[in-house]
Amino acid sequence: MPAERFTRRLNEQIGHELAAHNQYLSCAVHYDALTMPQMAAFFYGQALEERAHALMMVQYLLDTDVPVLIPGVEAPVPSFDGVVAPVELALDQERRVADQIDELLRIAREESDFASEQFMQWFIKEQVEEVATMSDLLAVVRRNTGDVENIEEYVAREQGGDESDSGAPRAAGG
C-alpha cells in the first residue's frame, strides 16, 4: 500500500494534470483561431498527453486500492495576445509540473514507498522532455513572431512525430 502522504499528493497531482489539459486546450483554440494549424495540433496533442498523465495516476491509485479523489481544477487562462504568450505560459506550466513531480518522488523516498518511487520515475523523464520541448519552441516562436509560417514549419518538422513510450504507466480506461 502506498504511503498516505504520497497518495494524498498524487490525488492533488491528478488535478494539476487535468488543469494542464484544460490550459493546453485553451492554447490550442487560440492558435486554431489564428489559423496556425500546426501549433493548434501540437497543443491539442499536449492537452491529450496531460489527460493521459492524469489517467496514469488514477490507474496507479486503483491498482494499489487507494481511493481516487478527482479534484476540481482552476480555470485556464482563456485568451492570449499574439503567438508568444501561450508558449511562455506553457513553459512556466511545465516547469511547475516538474517541481510537483520532483516533490512526489521526494515524498515517496522519504516514506520508503518504493513502488511509488518507481512509478514516478517515468514522470521525471517525461518532464525533462516536456520542459526542453517548450523551451525550444519558445525560442523559435520568439525569433519568428513576424513570420508564423516559420513557426508552423518548425512545429511540423520537429513536433510531428507521435512517439509512444512503451515504458509509460498504464492509463485508466485504456
pLDDT at 104: 98
Angle in degrees, 0-180, between the axes of helices 85-110 and 114-143, rounded to the nearest 10: 160
Query: Which set of grid coordinates corresponds to residue 131?
Result: 520542459
pLDDT at 1: 87
pLDDT at 160: 63
* pTM (predicted TM-score): 0.93
Closest CA to 39 of 22, 26, 53: 26
CA–CA dist 90, 134 (Å, integer): 7
Which residues touch 104 (CB under 8 Å, ≥6 apart)? 6, 9, 10, 13, 116, 120, 123
Question: Could you report the average pLDDT of every consecutive run of 10 residues in the chain (174 residues)?
Answer: 96 98 98 98 98 98 97 95 98 98 98 97 96 98 96 91 72 81
Domains of the chain, earliest start first: 4-158 (1.20.1260.10)
